[in-house]
A and B are shown apart, each in its own frame.
Chain A
Amino acid sequence: MTLKPFRMVLLLATSLIPLALAAIFVFLVRYSWPAIHFNGFGFLARHTWSLGNLYANPTVKHGQQVPIGADYGILVFIVGTLSTSTVALAIAIPVSLGVAVFLAEGLSARLRPLFSFIVELLAAVPSVVYGLWGYSVLTPIIAHDIGPAVRDSVGRVIPFFGGSIGSGYGLLAASLVLALMVVPIIAATVRDGLARVPAETKEAAYALGATHFEVVRRAMLPMVRSNIIGACILGLGRALGETMAVLMVSGGALNYLPNNIYSPVTTMASFIVSQLDSALQDPTGMAVRSLAEIALILFIIAVLTNVLARFLTGSRNVPTI
């Protein structure tokens, strides 16, 4: 009973987080409500985004005041977001598992803290730094080296990797930058899990005659399965929401879907930031509200991936950093 005031403070602090989440959701729904009403479900399926004629007087459509010719469809950005995140994870997961195993098992105990620190440091680098690097270093390399190499090898078998390479800006550049940002998150989380595998388990496996590799693969990795899935979801969350770095290297596609891995794309998050400036010029306000609706969809996608993660791990304790 003496703890009661303390408990109250804790309760207050704890309830702030779900309250903030609910407040964001309520705000997004309320603010974008006219846009939701105007756009309908076609919002998700149309791939034309047009603010309409901002210099003519607006018309009234579906009971809403909108610029003439306004048409908001975000299929291109949904595809851009999901494709960059998927490719990024496909690259990042094997790399980060390798890094995690190396950090946990492949290093001497003396070097382990140093290398772990370096990997964690990568996660602390602001994303715009990765973006700048991608913009000035990575895109020319993709245009001249990586792109032709991939096209002439994998591209001969899988058409999605073939075709025109273009300028280097696009899906591949965005995915590589995202992968670089996601690797330290996944690697650090999985390494923490591997470090917590009981010594008895490892010793038992060794006692059965397993090699070092078999101990890692058969005994340790299965034990941290839920860590791995949780880490991947954390990484996916980062990739879905990344804004600046993607904006700088993705090539800003508008109104068309990517036809190969080098195509320019646009993600939802980077589209919101790049279009806010223009949307503010819409005197009816429908453009900004439609951007808010994109934010709402992004929010829902993020929540869904987290729910999926819980479902996949089959437990309620998805690890977090």
Chain B
Amino acid sequence: MQKFRLTQGMRGAVAAAAIATVATLGTAPIASARTIDILETGSTLLYPLFNLWVPVYHRMHPEIRINTQGTGSGTGIAEAISGVAQIGASDAYMSDMQVKQNPAILNIPLAISAQTINYNVPGLNNIHLKLNGPVLAGIYDGQIRDWNNPAIQRLNPGVRLPDHVITPIHRTDGSGDTFIFSQYLSFSTPAWNARVGYGTTISWPAVQGGLGAIGNPGMVQASSQTPYSIAYIGVSFTREVARAHLGTAEIENRAGMFLLPNLHTVEAAAQQLVAKTPRDERISLVFAPGKFSYPIINYEYAMVNAHQADGATAIALRNFLSWAVNTRGGNAARFLNQVRFIALPPRISALSRQQIAKIH
């Protein structure tokens, strides 16, 4: 008797069917008619915070189901505009032109984040090297090629800097971290501003051997694997940076002070710009004045369309976002400390609430 054999094609079909079955089972809607689904997508820096928020919020409001995705700030903005996502997370605010094209999209700050400049220089990772905007701009545009360059030595008298080529690492994907790092270089160094400027992706000057990495995890990995490299990394990755034994630089602010990001220096910088924050809350917090202001901080935004498809979703969004910006809710220290974010100052959270009230 001839055995039954699957032909190549049939085997493929069976496998495909099996996969399809598993996939459908996995995502089968278990929702009752009343469940409201909210999709959050975008910034990888905000992603860990949303993942702390959502389970807690879901326990309080089981009827609201929020799905989170870390896809990048650009995708967050684009999907908030297209309506795929109800919340687009972004480290960068929208440009004037984007706002003109999409007047219904609100830029709502949820918290304040900062960025560290990290390096992997064998022997020097335990001390905090001092760096400033012009030196970082020189490293990233190829004019400062070696660690023992006089410009770096001048900022670090008494430190024995190695005679070794620097490998600058930048983000390959569109990133809010690139946005605020390049803003710091632009605001502190006119030559950089004229030649390169700022954005979520910029045209990095050609530095032979300069590396690109994907996401903050990629920056940590590339930097720890590459001796004599330098990188900019979101502050919510401080734990990973410590585990990789990278050095963290003290960065010069507008007043000429060299600072590390911590609760006090980030808050001090934010306070400087509270009064200047406009009603639509689109403003850069980078290179703030003030003696104790850490220079590279930013608002973390939720991009939300003011006109939601249905009333129930609009109410759910209003409730969730109001909870998120409240210091007794999502802005509580027990959430923010874990990712090293800072709560919104009262005036800013009031502005955010005014914007949230526009969602209908």
Q: Residues of A at under 8 Å CB distance from B?
A: 47-51, 53-58, 69, 71, 135, 139-140, 143, 164, 166-169, 247-248, 251-256, 259, 263-264, 266, 274-281, 283-284
Contacts and interface: CB of A to CB of B under 8 A. Distances in A.
Given A281-B74, A281-B98, A264 B203 contact: no
A164 B165 contact: yes
Given A167-B222, A252-B172, A281 B77 contact: yes
Given A51-B199, A69-B197, A252-B211, 19 more contacts: A49-B203, A53-B199, A55-B199, A166-B167, A166-B226, A167-B222, A168-B225, A247-B172, A252-B170, A252-B172, A252-B214, A253-B210, A254-B212, A256-B208, A256-B210, A278-B199, A281-B77, A281-B199, A283-B97
A44 to B, nearest CB: 18
A60 to B, nearest CB: 13
A80 to B, nearest CB: 12
A167 B204 CA distance: 19
B77 A256 contact: no
Contacts of B77: 280-281
A275 B174 contact: yes
A277 B211 contact: no
A317 to B, nearest CB: 21
Interface of B: 71-75, 77-78, 95-98, 101, 165, 167, 170, 172-174, 197-214, 221-222, 225-226, 229
B203 A57 contact: no
Contact of A247 (B73, B167, B214): B214
B58 to A, nearest CB: 28
B203 A71 contact: yes
A147 to B, nearest CB: 12
Contact of A248 (B201, B204, B211, B214): B214
A281 B225 contact: no
A283 B103 CA distance: 13
Contacts of A263: 208-209
Contacts of B221: 135
Contacts of B101: 283
B225 A139 contact: yes
Given A166-B167, A264-B211, A281-B200, A255 B222 contact: no
21 contacts: A49-B203, A54-B199, A57-B97, A164-B209, A167-B226, A252-B172, A252-B211, A252-B214, A254-B203, A256-B206, A264-B209, A266-B212, A274-B173, A277-B72, A277-B200, A278-B74, A278-B173, A278-B201, A279-B74, A281-B77, A281-B174
Contacts of B165: 164
B229 A167 contact: yes
A50, A71, A256, A277 — which one has the most chain B CB atoms within 10 A of its CB? A277
Contact of B204 (A69, A164, A255, A274): A255
B211 A169 contact: yes
Contacts of B78: 277, 280-281
B167, B198, B200 — which one has the most chain A CB atoms within 10 A of its CB? B200
A48 B225 CA distance: 28
Contacts of A50: 202-203
